[in-house]
Amino acid sequence: MPLQFDPHTGKITYRGKEVGEYTFKDGRSTVQLNLEYEGGEDWIVPLSWFAYGLSMLAENQPAQALLTIETGEHSIAEKFDVLRYLTEKQVKSGGYVWVFHKTDVDDWPSPLHGHDYDKGLKLDAITGNIYDVGTKELCKKLKAGDLKDVQDKLRESKDFKDAAVTLIDNIADTTDPV
């Protein structure tokens, strides 16, 4: 049974129990939900769909991409046996599309990272580590040559050149043996 909404009272119910409320005040819509459910071992599945719904709201959309870099499945140097948390769809094979945002609101896993939204992954463009977005677990690692290609494309971009020099080149200069 889906959630029920009464437009006259603003009440949201589920199976006859009030679980939330909608209000409209001063030109602003607000939805408040309080859901409790028993899900056994699959409790995360309904929660992930709720999170997916929230991710579709305009305020939760990513900033416009300034640079998109593609790498292929052959670019992966290592795969790690960890639980992956895919909420939208499971991609069986194919290339990776890394989207970089100049004004990304978070700096995880590093201040210079790309998103593969279709696969639910983040690429740390400094180390080449690839993380699952849902679990934040390290699940893959880009091959050194393909990481260098990504870093070179970032250096070539007027929007990411300074970050690449600061976060990749300057760190490498201080860690190289003399």
Asked if 96 and 160 touch (Cβ cutoff 8 Å), the reply is no
Q: Give CA–CA dist 134/138, Å, rounded.
A: 11
Query: What is the number of alpha carbons within 13 Å of residue 130 lying toward its C-beta?
Result: 28
103-134 pLDDT, tens digit per residue, is 777 889 999 998 888 888 999 999 999 999 88
Q: Which two tokens stand for residue 150?
A: 């990504």
Angle at CA of residue 163, ends 68 and 128, nearest 5°: 60
List beta partners, residue 28: 25
For residue 17, give both structure tokens: 């129990």
Quick: pLDDT tens for 59-72.
777 777 778 888 88
Strands laid side by side in the 121-124 sheet: 67-71, 96-100, 113-116, 121-124, 129-132, 138-142, 76-79
48 pLDDT exceeds 70?
no
Tokens 């860690």: give the residue. 175
Q: What is the pLDDT of residue 88?
A: 32
CA 168 – CA 133 distance, rounded (Å): 23
pLDDT tops 60 at residue 86? no
